Structure 1
Amino acid sequence: MKRISVDIGGTFTDCFVAWGDEYVGTKALTTHHNLAQGFNDALDVAIKDLGIDKHSLLSGVDSVRYSTTLGTNALIERKGPRIGLLITEGFNSTVPLSRGRGYGEGLPFEKQRDLCNAVRPEPIVPISMIRGVRERVAYNGDVLLPMDENDLRQKLRELVDQGAETIVVVYANSVVNPENELRTREIFLEEYPSYLLGAIPLLLSHQVAGRKGEYVRSMSTIIDGFLHQVMYHGLGTLEMYLRANGYDKPMLISHNSGGMAQLNSTDALQTVHSGPVSGIAASEHLSINGDLGNIVATDMGGTSFDIGIVVKGGEKHYDFNPVIDRWLVSIPMVHLVTLGAGGGSIASYDPLHDAVKIGPESAGSDPGPACYDRGGMQPTVTDADMLLGYLDPDNYANGRIQLNPARSRFVVEEELCDDMDMDLLDVCKKIKQTADANMANGIATELRSRGYDPSEFTTLAYGGNGPLHCCGIANALGVNRVLAPPFSSVFSALGAGNVNQMHIHEMSTYTVLFHTGSQSMLTEYDKVNDAIETLETRGRDDLMRQGMDPKLIKFRLEFDMRYGNQRVETAVETDAKRFESMHDVLALMRRFDKRYGERFGQGSQATESGVRINTIRVSSYVELDKVDFKQIKPLQEKISVEPVTSRQCYFVGFDGAFDTAVYDDAALEPGTYIEGPAVITTVNTTYLVEPGWSYHASHRGAVWFSRTNTH
């Protein structure tokens, strides 16, 4: 296996290189003005470690896999093209009005409750760029009003004259019958051939989102159009860089569905949050390959703290209507929760509670925490870690970043000490304690809201700051064991290289399995089977277009189901490929009852109100080689190593300083056992073993932290 995978975060760009039996993980600061530069910096370190030249590496790998924050950054900064929207006449206000909950979507919980001060997000499409088109398709696909083509041509001219750089087409019920949307594209190309307007994109909503729901489908297509150009140019530039250095294969892009595809088969919307989702994909593989059972994946980077759940057997939780930035969209995305609690999260004084507040604002990589000495003027979690003695100023990020403790001391004293009437070290302890408690509370809330007990899960701590804060988080959470996985500092990048090539296609339907009025069961299977066949064909075509062997393509079938007219839908996976008999219908209904009971409690099922399918979903994928995690469990042997030095460290819940042993990369040797307090400073991250905890290294750099009950 020879591959390169990259994850670009808000602060660091992570790179993982598999070169035969050699694995190398590296980090570099993210260069937001040109993401390819940060990738190149991280790749240069890997090349040095492997002892080969760049051209030999890039020409020798089978793939380069990329997780990007280009889309996320573009949405935050509102940097995108001027968009024109064509929508069914009468639906012109669908996007400006959003929904009743549109005020709160994407806001922190406390702001969602403050409806009096709620403000809608700045619209991506201004009202002046929305045009209604005279056409109408019924819910069942019947054309109620044929499209007025002269009216359409006039609306297209108006949008182009007003400077539209991307045009989005969203017609009612087009997911059932896309005839009018497809005809719109033909007319657009007749009016404005590519040689007149260049490559101006025109996006059709039924091709972006396959489910009903006019608002969410509209926003999915609008955001996809908004991100299209920045993704095209940003990733196109990166692909040209790879070509110039010897890489002649298609570049692969990680998707927020937990799969990946070639650049030419990727919608911009599918890349949003693909970095954190890659970490969850790696956690899923770790759970199965290492036989670890239930896992809660936690990724603490420089900007945020991401939480994901993988239950035994590798089952992931999906959001089928996730909120991206401030908008509800309609794409399958691996469920994750993001908190503003990274190393660069800014610590401020909360006068109402006379306490420290952490985030959600972050110093990012530019200027970064104050100790980076790049102009940061606000205290961060990393500054507190610096002053508590956990970080080595001369050996941070493998010596590439020289830390300045004096800057950390100045900003903490200036911004917090006087307001809190506490000395410097007590304030730093409070910063760490608050950050750890916030992250622990986020984990507990996510697990318990889904009916899980944290003690039933193995907690994974990865990201650049995960192993540094995992003991503190575990203390607040009340768990006794934490695993820092192999290559923990670049685990999401590793995950980007570990995912399967996959596409997910969906189709709305109105299929009644059990009709409560007539007390009858579904007996006509052709309509459902034809829809499944159509979705499988789309997935197969996508993968074959990317060079996949059709014999290796697999399918996973899933339905969104509900009782009667309930609003709540439950995703149900089935092993059946087609409906062939009443037995298949009953088996699906039993599986739905079981999943519904697991979600809402046994006895809450309501089969007597009717059962129906609202969405058919097919995942088409090809399983690819992955990094082996079988030897991941704790070892029996316990090997002692000598520390390289010691320094004074301070810990939450303890007075005074501890003379703390400091170790280097030698502590990653399998079997190494260390009792806290201790600091292990490696090339890419720092492991902090707090008092009352032990450190036990396993294979491939995995580390188990266990409570020792010494206090």
Structure 2
Amino acid sequence: MDVGGTNTDLVLECAKGVFYHKVPTTLKNQSIGVVEGVRGICSLAGIKPSEVDVIVHGTTTATNITIEHKGSETGMLTTRGFRDILHIGRHKRPYNFSLHFTVPWQDQPLVKRRNRIAISERILPPSGEVETALNEQEVRDAIKLFKKRGINSIVVGFMFAFLNDAHERRAKEIILEEMPDAYVTLSSEVANVMREYERFSTAAMNCYVGPKTAFYLRDLESKLREAGVTSKLRIMQSNGGVSTVESCAARPIRILMSGPAGGVIGGASEGVMAGVSNVITVDIGGTSADISTIPDGRVKIMNPRDTYVSGHPVLTPMIDLVTIGAGGGSVAFIDEAGAFNVGPRSAGSEPGPACYGRGGVEPTVTDAQVVLGRLDPDLVLGGDLKLDPELSWKAIEEKIANPLGMSVKEAALGIIKIINNNMALAIRSNSLARGIDPREFSILPFGGAGPLHGVALAEAISAKDIIVPVAPGITAAVGLLKTDLQYDHTEAAIVELNASGDDELARINEAARRLHARVVAELDDDGIPRDQQRVEMVAECRYRGQGFELRAKMPDGPVTHANKSVIVDSFHDQHQVDYGYSYRDQEVELITLRAIGRAAVERLHVPKVRETDGSSIDRALMFVRTTTFDDGSTLETPRYDRTKLYAGDKVNGPAILVQHDSTTLVPPGYVAETLDYGNTRVRRAGIA
């Protein structure tokens, strides 16, 4: 189940087949909508909730807390003299050439300055020796102050704790003695790496979102139990793997990009089913569009220097994607200067687009699709969601068309063109700007609104074709059932590899041993047999003096003088791939070791659809209505029930393919071919 800003999507695989379901997201408490959805899809499949073996959940709870700045009041203990690290940051300007901008880490701090308390203690590099012992009385005094202020979420960030975490661990013991119910995060637990600002920010973010996220996850687990679901509950992480409720409640920074990650995994698997290795996924829901480029079928992990959430650096592995405010609920408006804008503000599901009839009066992208005849008011969600086209027409006419002196259809086309251009720019930033040629890629649009925009986006970036998933509106939920359990742990191991001696290599191997034991312990706690566990060691390296690291391969077994060149050569190769050059004669520094523990889980199996028997596609024809396309032409356009098309069937545009969870637009001059699994390839007519 995947919770979005507008809808909650569910997919169920059981002995009777694969079932898909959609329910409105309950924004005040997402778990209510989730439980309703679980009951609904089980009823649809004719099974009892108690028969479900495992549930995988993608959530935006932690993300929304950061976006809306509704995190917990947090207290911080830090080394004396370094109280303002979180305020100073890296002296980076969010916008280099703007005189009017906000600095997120100063204007919306994760920990207010009055709640950052300095403690006498000091650990020195490079060995981690203690220069000043921890003043335990100062820690106790600080906790008394936090209790007086009603703060029970506390982050501990001491200088050089990644070299020696003894002071942080002792501080945590004292905190729990004084305040047993406190939510405590140590910087050495969540980001055991160098760079104090990023480490402190990561730990502070964990405490900021932690209490509310932990409450949501445990509340959801409790509500599912009350509904009769006794199965394991797994949570999607930002790195593309799933984890347990307890693990994610303790480290919610792991699920800051939980929802979008499921979409990327689902999109990648859809590319495999279509026999396409190069895909650009575009997940367009009601509120946002999440875009990711997948070359050669490999889901990319973002470089740590780019992992920002709401303007704050967070050192946790995240799938490489771009998110913009563009979706079916994006509001069209005219600003104070008279410019025509669409998004990023969204009408969401409450009140939703004007056509929902729930009190919304502002025109949205969905309203534009209705006015242009691309969304049939009586067919959305299989007729479960009735739309009022008159309300769409009125909203666009009053808010856009009349003020700009244009017809309602011209205004609706303008809304679509603006939102498509916004998304095309984001796609280019994630592909072309990184040296990737979109002409070699297929656009894979999904989400409830995705297939309506697929062809226009492909034209805008010159993609070779469009692949529409089997269940576009549910693809992010499908991705949750196509991923593995995964845990990441890091440890600092700063070594100049070329000049390293026996002592340095022994230090690397000892750190690798500890990390290996840590991830194995987590997989053991999940009940994963040892023969099903896979642990990968990664070396994060840089050229001496560089600001950030790249991932390099580790040799099999212990690092020795004979095989340390495996790490060095791998780093040079990765630098060449990422930046187009490398310095083979320069010193390479190992900065961080990372252990990634994985365990394969049973994957969703999507059955193939029936092959075409040569019969007419009229078997899928529903009716014909007028539809307006991007070139302004209004044509009689047939609607086809997509579920009645067989593998090999071809539908010539103009046409609209209708299904319960989404609608696919096939403009004139394009042809849509149904593929083996019921997915669809859309391309220009006459192109093989």
TM-score by length of 1: 0.91
Alignment-derived partner of residue 150 in structure 1? 137
* Pick aligned residue for 1:71 from 55, 62, 68: 62
In structure 2, do the counterparts of structure 1 residues 586 and 637 end up closer, same or farther at CA, with 3 Å as the change threshold?
Answer: farther
Alignment-derived partner of residue 46 in structure 2? 51
Alignment-derived partner of residue 25 in structure 2? 30
Alignment-derived partner of residue 283 in structure 1? 267
Alignment-derived partner of residue 410 in structure 1? 394
* Pick aligned residue for 2:80 from 62, 69, 89: 89
Alignment-derived partner of residue 107 in structure 1? none
Aligned positions of 1:555-574 closer than 5 A = 555-574=535-554
Deviations 1:61-83 (A, max 9, x none): 22111111111222233323221
Q: Distance in 1 between matches of 2:625 and 2:502?
A: 72
CA contact 1:284–1:316 (8 Å) conserved in 2: no
* Pick aligned residue for 2:117 from 120, 128, 131: 131
1:476 maps to amino acid = A
Return the offset for 1:445: 2.4
Alignment-derived partner of residue 108 in structure 1? none
In structure 2, do the counterparts of structure 1 residues 639 and 502 end up closer, same or farther at CA, with 3 Å as the change threshold?
Answer: farther
In structure 2, do the counterparts of structure 1 residues 639 and 461 end up closer, same or farther at CA, with 3 Å as the change threshold?
Answer: farther
Unpaired runs of at least 5, structure 2: none
Alignment-derived partner of residue 535 in structure 1? 515
SS at match of 2:81: coil
SS at match of 1:49: helix
1:588 maps to amino acid = I
Alignment-derived partner of residue 592 in structure 1? 571
SS at match of 1:433: helix
CA contact 1:639–1:673 (8 Å) conserved in 2: no
Return the offset for 1:51: 2.4
Structure 2 residue 158 is the aligned partner of structure 1 residue 167: no
Q: Distance in 2 between matches of 1:65 and 1:211?
A: 30
Structure 2 residue 362 is the aligned partner of structure 1 residue 378: yes
Q: Distance in 2 between matches of 1:697 and 1:638?
A: 14
In structure 2, do the counterparts of structure 1 residues 216 and 524 end up closer, same or farther at CA, with 3 Å as the change threshold?
Answer: closer
In structure 2, do the counterparts of structure 1 residues 639 and 214 end up closer, same or farther at CA, with 3 Å as the change threshold?
Answer: farther
Alignment-derived partner of residue 338 in structure 1? 323
Q: Distance in 2 between matches of 1:244 and 1:41?
A: 12
Q: Distance in 2 between matches of 1:200 and 1:633?
A: 57
Q: Distance in 1 between matches of 2:396 and 2:611?
A: 39
In structure 2, do the counterparts of structure 1 residues 319 and 16 end up closer, same or farther at CA, with 3 Å as the change threshold?
Answer: farther
Q: Distance in 1 between matches of 2:352 and 2:405?
A: 26
Q: Distance in 2 between matches of 1:377 and 1:666?
A: 34
Aligned positions of 1:177-192 closer than 5 A = 177-192=164-179
In structure 2, do the counterparts of structure 1 residues 548 and 205 end up closer, same or farther at CA, with 3 Å as the change threshold?
Answer: same
SS at match of 1:514: coil
Aligned positions of 1:10-409 closer than 5 A = 10-20=5-15, 22-52=17-47, 56=48, 58-101=49-92, 104=94, 113-119=97-103, 120-140=106-126, 141-192=128-179, 194=180, 199-266=181-248, 267-287=251-271, 291-321=275-305, 322-349=307-334, 356-409=340-393
CA contact 1:513–1:522 (8 Å) conserved in 2: no
In structure 2, do the counterparts of structure 1 residues 588 and 490 end up closer, same or farther at CA, with 3 Å as the change threshold?
Answer: same
* Pick aligned residue for 1:693 from 670, 676, 686: 670
CA contact 1:634–1:696 (8 Å) conserved in 2: no
1:87 maps to amino acid = T
Q: Distance in 2 between matches of 1:71 and 1:634?
A: 44
Structure 2 residue 632 is the aligned partner of structure 1 residue 654: yes
Return the offset for 1:701: 2.9
1:263 maps to amino acid = V
In structure 2, do the counterparts of structure 1 residues 632 and 210 end up closer, same or farther at CA, with 3 Å as the change threshold?
Answer: farther
* Pick aligned residue for 1:552 from 532, 536, 548: 532
2:282 maps to amino acid = T
* Pick aligned residue for 1:500 from 460, 477, 484: 484
Return the offset for 1:302: 0.7
1:64 maps to amino acid = I
Return the offset for 1:702: 1.0
Q: Distance in 2 between matches of 1:393 and 1:241?
A: 34
CA contact 1:371–1:407 (8 Å) conserved in 2: yes
SS at match of 2:617: coil
TM-score by length of 2: 0.94
Q: Distance in 1 between matches of 2:224 and 2:299?
A: 35
Return the offset for 1:444: 2.1
SS at match of 1:398: helix
Deviations 1:243-277 (A, max 9, x none): 12222233111110111111011221111121111
Return the offset for 1:387: 0.2
Return the offset for 1:709: 5.4
Unpaired runs of at least 5, structure 1: 1-5, 105-110
In structure 2, do the counterparts of structure 1 residues 470 and 634 end up closer, same or farther at CA, with 3 Å as the change threshold?
Answer: farther
Q: Distance in 2 between matches of 1:535 and 1:34?
A: 37
SS at match of 1:100: coil
In structure 2, do the counterparts of structure 1 residues 326 and 274 end up closer, same or farther at CA, with 3 Å as the change threshold?
Answer: same
Across the aligned residues of Structure 1 and Structure 2, the Cα RMSD in angstroms comes to: 2.3
2:407 maps to amino acid = D
Q: Distance in 2 between matches of 1:386 and 1:124?
A: 42
Give the number of equivalent residue pairs: 680
Return the offset for 1:369: 0.9
Return the offset for 1:189: 2.9
Q: Distance in 1 between matches of 2:611 and 2:498?
A: 50
Return the offset for 1:638: 8.6
In structure 2, do the counterparts of structure 1 residues 323 and 142 end up closer, same or farther at CA, with 3 Å as the change threshold?
Answer: same
In structure 2, do the counterparts of structure 1 residues 117 and 247 end up closer, same or farther at CA, with 3 Å as the change threshold?
Answer: closer
Deviations 1:30-75 (A, max 9, x none): 11112122213333442343123xxx2x222221111111112222
Q: Distance in 1 between matches of 2:299 and 2:65?
A: 31
Q: Distance in 2 between matches of 1:378 and 1:575?
A: 59
Alignment-derived partner of residue 664 in structure 1? 641
In structure 2, do the counterparts of structure 1 residues 407 and 636 end up closer, same or farther at CA, with 3 Å as the change threshold?
Answer: same
SS at match of 2:403: helix
Return the offset for 1:229: 1.6
Counting aligned pairs with the same residue, the percent is 28
Deviations 1:381-401 (A, max 9, x none): 111001000111122122222
SS at match of 1:504: strand
Structure 2 residue 653 is the aligned partner of structure 1 residue 673: no
Q: Distance in 2 between matches of 1:204 and 1:328?
A: 16
In structure 2, do the counterparts of structure 1 residues 523 and 294 end up closer, same or farther at CA, with 3 Å as the change threshold?
Answer: farther
Q: Distance in 2 between matches of 1:318 and 1:232?
A: 25
In structure 2, do the counterparts of structure 1 residues 47 and 668 end up closer, same or farther at CA, with 3 Å as the change threshold?
Answer: farther
In structure 2, do the counterparts of structure 1 residues 45 and 681 end up closer, same or farther at CA, with 3 Å as the change threshold?
Answer: farther
Alignment-derived partner of residue 8 in structure 1? 3
In structure 2, do the counterparts of structure 1 residues 391 and 112 end up closer, same or farther at CA, with 3 Å as the change threshold?
Answer: farther
Q: Distance in 2 between matches of 1:659 and 1:575?
A: 63
Q: Distance in 1 between matches of 2:494 and 2:432?
A: 33
Return the offset for 1:355: 5.2
Return the offset for 1:333: 1.0
Q: Distance in 2 between matches of 1:315 and 1:573?
A: 17
SS at match of 2:564: helix
